[in-house]
Structure 1
Amino acid sequence: MTREEKSIAIEELTAQLAGTNIVYVADISGLNAETTSNLRRACFKAGVKLEVVKNTLLAKAMEVSENEYGELPSVLVGNSAIFISDVANAPGKIIKDFRKKSDKPLLKGAYVNAEVYIGDDQLNMLSTIKSKEELLGELIGLLQSPAQKIISALQNKFAGQEVEAETEAEQA
């Protein structure tokens, strides 16, 4: 790779990193062609971009990025692939699902909403992080719950008053 090609690759990686707050780094080496194709297909369906990268180029892109990746560049050893997503738990779920059949992909680390996670032991926690949409849905549900109780109580009270009024009208 020439210097010019390297600088272009770094610029492209920097642009990809600037456009997201969710980056997982994993080792997918040793996967056969069919399994790799299945992994790419699962990523595509989930809206996750999977790309095999050169460690030195990714490290340089992380250095010049506006985001603070902390210790994440230290995991860039051996083969590395990045999973870029808009949903925090999507790459974790994909990796966890593939780990049911094989020992790869192996999570090296992740950058999720300005937090850095290092090591494969973080996979279970990362796969259960709630997305922004899930959190908003829960919040709306919690906010609606008391209002629905009040409306239900008022409807029951008014329904009871209507029944009393009908009974009084029938007796008169």
Structure 2
Amino acid sequence: MNKENKQQLVAEMHDKLLRAQAAFLADFRGMNVGQATELRNELRKAGVEFKVVKNTLLDIASKGTDKEALSPYYAGPTAIALSYDDPVAAAKVLSKFAKDATNPFTLKAGVLTGKAIGVADIQALADMPSREVLLGRLLGTLQAPTSNFVRVLAAVPGGFVRALDAIRAQKDGQ
């Protein structure tokens, strides 16, 4: 790779690092082509970009971004997963793949909204419900007071009707 190609790759990676909401580093040492392809396909479905980049180029590209906190982890074979939309989805796929005992894939670290996170934090992120589930819960929480208020308002006339029906039944019985 000549100097011009390296500069272009660094500029491209810098732009991607700026746009990414989250980045995760992993050691892929010992993975075979089939396992790597399977991981890439799973990450692609989750909207995550997975690249293998030389550590020195990644270190240069991360300068001036919030992903610069990952620089201590640029050692050994390093792959980076960039999540532009949903960091939880990326963490779920990577964590699940790392747990599989048949894969020699291990997570190193990550950055989420400018803050470096460790493997335990990535696992905690992976255990979170998906964005859609969280939005559904939020919507249910926001609707609950309104629904309860409507039930209370409907109970007043319903109670009145039941009281009138009881009076009618009592008069019919006499």
- The answer to whether TM tops 0.5 is yes
Query: Which residue pairs with 1:78 in the alignment?
Result: 76
Question: SS where residue 159 of structure 1 aligns?
Answer: helix
Letter in 2 for 1:72: L
Instruction: State the number of aligned residues.
Output: 169
Question: SS where residue 64 of structure 1 aligns?
Answer: coil
Query: Which residue pairs with 2:5 in the alignment?
Result: 5
Distance 2:160 2:53 in 1: 71
C-alpha distance after superposition, 1:28-57 (max 9, x if no partner): 121111111111111111111111111111
TM-superposed deviation, 1:62: 0.8
> Rg: which structure is higher?
2
**In the alignment, does 2:85 pair up with 1:94?**
no
Aligned pairs for 1:40-55 within 5 A? 40-55=40-55
- Taking every aligned residue pair, what percent have the same amino acid on both sides? 28
Query: Which residue pairs with 2:63 in the alignment?
Result: 63
Which structure has greater helix proportion? Answer: 2
Question: SS where residue 145 of structure 1 aligns?
Answer: helix
The 10-residue stretch of structure 1 (55-64 or 6-15) with the greater mean CA deviation from structure 2: 55-64
Aligned pairs for 1:1-172 within 5 A? 1-65=1-65, 68-69=66-67, 71-85=69-83, 86-98=85-97, 99-118=99-118, 120-129=119-128, 134-165=133-164
- How large is the RMSD of aligned CA atoms in angstroms? 2.3
C-alpha distance after superposition, 1:86-119 (max 9, x if no partner): 212122211221122335321111111122113x
Kept after mapping to 2: 8 A contact 1:70/1:116: no
Distance 2:64 2:69 in 1: 15
Change (3 A) 1:115 1:135: farther
Letter in 2 for 1:14: H
Unaligned runs of 5+ in 1: none
The 10-residue stretch of structure 1 (93-102 or 107-116) with the greater mean CA deviation from structure 2: 93-102
TM-superposed deviation, 1:160: 2.2
TM-superposed deviation, 1:162: 3.1
Kept after mapping to 1: 8 A contact 2:27/2:108: yes
Distance 2:70 2:132 in 1: 26
Question: SS where residue 84 of structure 1 aligns?
Answer: strand
TM-superposed deviation, 1:131: 5.7
Distance 1:37 1:80 in 2: 16
TM-superposed deviation, 1:168: 5.4
